Structures are given as C-alpha cells and as structure tokens.
Chains A and B, each alone.
Chain A
Amino acid sequence: EGDVSKMREVVAVAQHHDAVTGTAKQAVTFDYQQRLSEGIQDCQEVIKYAYQNLMPTSKSSAAPPELIFCPLMNTTECPITETSTQLIDNVYNPLARPVSKYVRLPVTSPGFDVIAPNGQKIETQVIPIPKPVLLIPGRKSSATYELIFRADLPPIGFKSFFVIKNASVAERQLSKPSRMA
C-alpha cells in the first residue's frame, strides 16, 4: 500500500549534513539514493490511488487503469512513450496557481497528435535529442526525438492529454536542423 511515511522518514535521514552537501562516503551515498528511491516509489503508489479514483475503467476490465512513472526522464528515457502508439499523459500541477509547462516526451519518431481534455488538438513540435544525451553511459533507450507540447494546468490539479500516433503529421511537426555557419 502506498504511504508517504517512508518518504517522510527518508527525508529526515537525508537532512544529515553529509546528505545535504554530498560529503558522505560513496557507499553511504548509495544508501541515501536507495532509501530516497524507495520513498519516491511509495509516494507514487499514493498518486496512483488518487488518479485511479478519478479515471474511467476500461471496457474489458473492471480494474482501474494502470499508472506508469518514468523516473529516468533525466536521461530522456521513458519506455512507455517509446513503445506506445497511444497513451494518456497525466500532468499534475502541485502549485496553488495556474502554470504552463512545456512537456517533452521521448519518442522514437515524429508523428503524434496530442489532444487536450476539451477535445482540441494542441500544437506540437518534435526535435531530435542531442547526440551527447544519446551517448550517456547506461542509457537504455531507443528514443531519438522529443515530442513537445504546452500543458496549461489548473492550480493544484491535473490535466490528461491523449497522445496518439499519426504519421501524417510527422513531416510538419519535425523541426528541421540548420547550421549556424
């Protein structure tokens, strides 16, 4: 069961000055990382329950829809966006004011429509991932592009965007490279 207590305890541990400033021995740093990772996973369970109470169940199953997080977005890596032809992207704004966020999803090719909750297709852009990112040691991803769209979010609330493959828009949404010189 999801519980935020684990994260609360881990953050308390990580207030030691070694964790704050990075002066721990390497093995201790690994331990901090593992504890934080476990705490984050428990918090994600809590978020899953919240979403599942708000989302529709599928036709074929009474089970609530699955919710997937991509913790490796810092290396532009996300298995679900790289392999799916359609998915729902849930974007939650924890701030108490509206914000606009430019969402960047790792994909293997251009050619996606993004549909806002009101049914309107929203503007998209696709840009190749820079080569140094593709070469990050340990990166296990087939994504070579990023799909970009703007999410206008309500305060302390979320919007779900319907992302669906549409090869016919690939040419139009892919930004063409040009060289400075």
Chain B
Amino acid sequence: KKAFLGKGKFLLGVDRNGRIQRLSHNGNVLDVTQDYVWYEGHPGNNSEFEFRASGAYIFRPWHEKPHVAQPQGNPIVYKGPLVDEIHMNFGFNVSQVLRVYKDKPEAEIEWLVGPIPIGDHVGKEVVSRFNTQLDTKKTFYTDSNGRQLLKRERNFRPTWNLNVTEPIAGNYYPINSRIAMNDGKTFVTVLTDRSQGGSSLKDGQLEIMIHRRLLYDDAFGVGEALNEEAFGEGLVVRGKHWLQVSSSAEASAKNHRLRAQQAFMDAQISFTPTSLSFQEWK
C-alpha cells in the first residue's frame, strides 16, 4: 500500500524494483508491468531477399526471443507536492525515471539508452515493453499516417493473404504519436514523443523500439551500417513515453488526443536575464 506514486485520481503501484506493477485511474485498476528488452540485429549476408542484415531500412531481429535488461541497484524514490518519481537503472546502459505529476492522468516514463555496447560484435535493438492481461484478440492500433488510429491485427493484412515469415518484424508498424490496445472494457494507450516503431506481439502487450545500433549495412542503398557515434561512443538517446488507461473509448480518446497535441506543440521556454526586482519588472 505504501509503494505507489501519485496523489490525485491517477495512482501507480510499483514493485520492490521500482517497476510498474499496477495503475489506477478514476478507480479503473489495471495490472501492468514494463520492462526493457533487446533484439539481436540480424548480421545477414545481403544476398537478395534472403538473410539481409538488420539496418537503417529494415528491422530484422536474428532471434524471435529478445534479451531482458535486468534491473540494477536500488531504485531511488522522490516524493513531493508536484511530482513523485523513481529513478532506476537497468543493465545494458538503460535507465529510466518513472513519474506521476499531480493532477495528470498518466504515468510519464523518461527513458535513457546508450551507448549500446557492441563489444560482442552483435548489433542490438532496444525495446520498451508493456505487459497486461487484457484479451486484445490480436488487435492493436497505431497512428502510422499521423492522422487517425488505424486498426492492426497480428499476422494479418486486410487486403491480401499474408505469409508470415518474420513474426517480429512482420508485425511491426510505424508509430507517429501513439500505440493503443483494448479489451472492450479497458483502454490502454502509450504515447511517444517522436516517431518510433512498435507492435503487440502477444495479446495484452505493447512494445516500442527506442534505440538501435547495428553493425552491418542492410544493402538497401544507404551503404552504411546504422552505427552512429558521438564523442567516440555510440549515441545516447533520451525520450518520454506516456502511459494512459481509461474505461471507455470516449475517455481514452479525450485523454490521448489532448496529450498528443501537447506533446507535439509543447510550450516553448525562453529566458530573460534581469537585475530588476519583481515589482520593477512587473
């Protein structure tokens, strides 16, 4: 009962590792866990159509089962009048801040990944994954075209017979601002702060790719491996996801549409130095 974040209508329960365990919004309770996993990028041999490497153009995991980044150390909790947050680290150069702002109907997850280690000469693709028990019947939603949420069905295309040869990559879709799922009673949405890729590879599960570092060109024309560096190391990326839960399609739409607008057209901050007192300045 003590291990929760938030004060208002949105509460977030966490386990002893500081990870999400349960959330409650307006009395709707959802058991949900979140972890970071990574796929090994296929090294390929770049023959036409077969064994092409995972790279800038294509996502192609070598194995279907990803590795899990394990929690490390003891999470630190900060609580205060405006925000509660937990700082935690995972293996594999992944860390996150899980936070709930007062009066905001969502959990904010600020992730930081990198530099992705490649000492084992294996390219890696890191994913944030949310797990629930919702019976979503193979269905999820992404806003690939940036306008509306489009229905996606696992291992299925509405206009042709799909032969699934790559169960992971074949079910990934672009995300511009959000990915969502529901079981008709509980509506779960994860919003992103940038375009990413994602899927629902099991019922009740959502995953979003957040960083990639790959060692081979995929032979689609770019001529380079997706192995960006800065300061002599792989890139470090930092961003946010917002996790929302609602009990109706209408409430869900209201929450995620307003949040997506605010993420896309966020308030702009600038500063003015002054030696005036407040009264003089006013």
Q: Is the CB of B274 within 8 A of A23?
A: no
Q: Is B74 an interface residue (CB 8 A)?
A: yes
Choose from B104, B236, B267 the contact partner of A91 (Cβ within 8 Å). B267
In the complex, the answer to whether B230 meets A137 with C-beta atoms within 8 Å is yes
Query: For A173, what are the chain B residues with a Cβ–Cβ distance below 8 Å?
Result: 80
Tally of B interface residues using CB under 8 Å: 62
Majority DSSP secondary structure for residues of A touching B: mixed
For the complex, give the distance between the alpha carbons of A115 and B269 in Å. 16
Minimal beta-carbon separation of B204 from chain A (angstroms): 26
Q: How far is the CA of A101 from the CA of B103 in the complex (A)?
A: 11
A130-B87, A132-B89, A133-B238 known; A103-B74 Cβ under 8 A: no
Whole-angstrom CA separation of A178 from B5 in the bound complex: 13
Residues facing A in B79-97 (CB within 8 A) are: 79-83, 85-87, 89, 93, 95, 97
Contacts of B89 in A (CB 8 A): 132
Contact status B267-A101, CB under 8 Å: yes
Chain B residue at minimal CB-CB distance from A115: B278
**B108 (CB) vs chain A CBs: closest residue:** A102
Task: Indicate whether A179 sits within 8 Å of B271 (C-beta atoms), given known contacts A23-B57, A133-B112, A138-B231.
Answer: no
Interface residue total, chain A, C-beta cutoff 8 A:
74
| Residue contact B272 to A177, C-beta cutoff 8 Å | no
**Taking the complex as formed, is A7 at the interface, i.e. its CB lies under 8 A from any CB of chain B?**
no
* Chain B residue nearest in CB terms to A136: B236
B259 → chain A closest CB, angstroms: 10
Asked whether, in the complex, the Cβ of A175 is within 8 Å of the Cβ of B222, the reply is: no
Q: When A and B form their complex, which 9 residue pairs have the shortest distance between CB atoms, in order from nearest?
A: A137-B231, A175-B78, A125-B80, A132-B95, A88-B272, A175-B80, A101-B267, A23-B56, A92-B268
**Interface CB pairs A-B, < 8 A, 11:** A67-B270, A81-B271, A88-B272, A92-B270, A99-B267, A119-B278, A128-B78, A133-B238, A136-B236, A137-B233, A178-B78
Q: A101-B267, A181-B16 are in contact. List 11 more A-B contacts (CB 8 A).
A: A22-B56, A68-B270, A84-B273, A86-B275, A90-B269, A115-B278, A137-B236, A162-B282, A175-B80, A179-B77, A180-B86
